[in-house]
Structure 1
Amino acid sequence: MADSTIKKVDGTHSPKEGAEKFLASGSNVAMRMWEDEQPNQDKPAVSRPYETVGYVIKGKAELHSEGQMVTLQPGDSYVVPKDAKHTYKILETFTAVEATSPPAQVHGRGE
């Protein structure tokens, strides 16, 4: 029988690492929020073993990936493919919600 348990994560107790707040996570997808991330210039490019889809709530950023660049602003959604080398240049205080599949975990994500 499939698991039918509903899970709730109380936002006041969500694990947080800097501007990254970890939200609900299931067996196939996880959510997180980048909350009030401050402008920056030099975040190193990384690749991750999961696909990321995101939605911008406020602020402005550039997403650089594999020789491409897109500007992200409120109302935009985006996809970063699995294993794509990418970085974000935060231009204005930035808040976005992302979902990752398979789930990115709080610890041991392979920074």
Structure 2
Amino acid sequence: MTDTSAKKVDAQSSPRGDMGQKYLASGESLAMRLWEQEEPADEVKPSTKREYETVGYAISGRAELHLDGQVIVLESGDSWVVPKGVSHTYKILETFTAVEATSPPAQAHRQDR
């Protein structure tokens, strides 16, 4: 039987992940997370590859997405895609807030580390 229940998640009381992200609504095949007021850093974090696809939307601030040899500047109103299995990292340039959706859910099976 199909699950038809609606779910609501209050970001104020959402659990946090190991990297500081807030977990928002999550379904069987996708999930949302919030990166809120991420502070600038002098260095780029080491690149990683994830077993999920990510789409994101920048709410405020600026960041660089380092993606498989490319550098993409993300600003308020920009959206992006990080394909599954592609080497990437982020560098925060100005205090940054963004929402991302991952498929499958990043927090499933502790993939979101």
Q: Would the TM-score normalized by the shorter structure come out above 0.5?
A: yes
Output the CA distance in 2 between the equivalents of 1:86 and 1:104: 15
> Which residue does 1:36 correspond to in 2?
37
Output the CA distance in 1 between the equivalents of 2:95 and 2:63: 9
1:16 aligned counterpart, secondary structure? coil
Output the CA distance in 2 between the equivalents of 1:59 and 1:107: 31
Deviating above 2 A after TM superposition, structure 1's stretches of 4 or more consecutive aligned residues are: none
TM-score by length of 1: 0.93
> Which residue does 1:13 correspond to in 2?
13
Q: Which runs of 5+ in 1 are unaligned?
A: none
Identity %: 59
RMSD: 1.5
TM-score by length of 2: 0.91
Output the CA distance in 1 between the equivalents of 2:26 and 2:58: 20
Aligned residue pair count: 111
Output the CA distance in 1 between the equivalents of 2:7 and 2:98: 22
Output the CA distance in 2 between the equivalents of 1:14 and 1:110: 15
Give the 5 Å matches for 1:77-92. Answer: 77-92=79-94
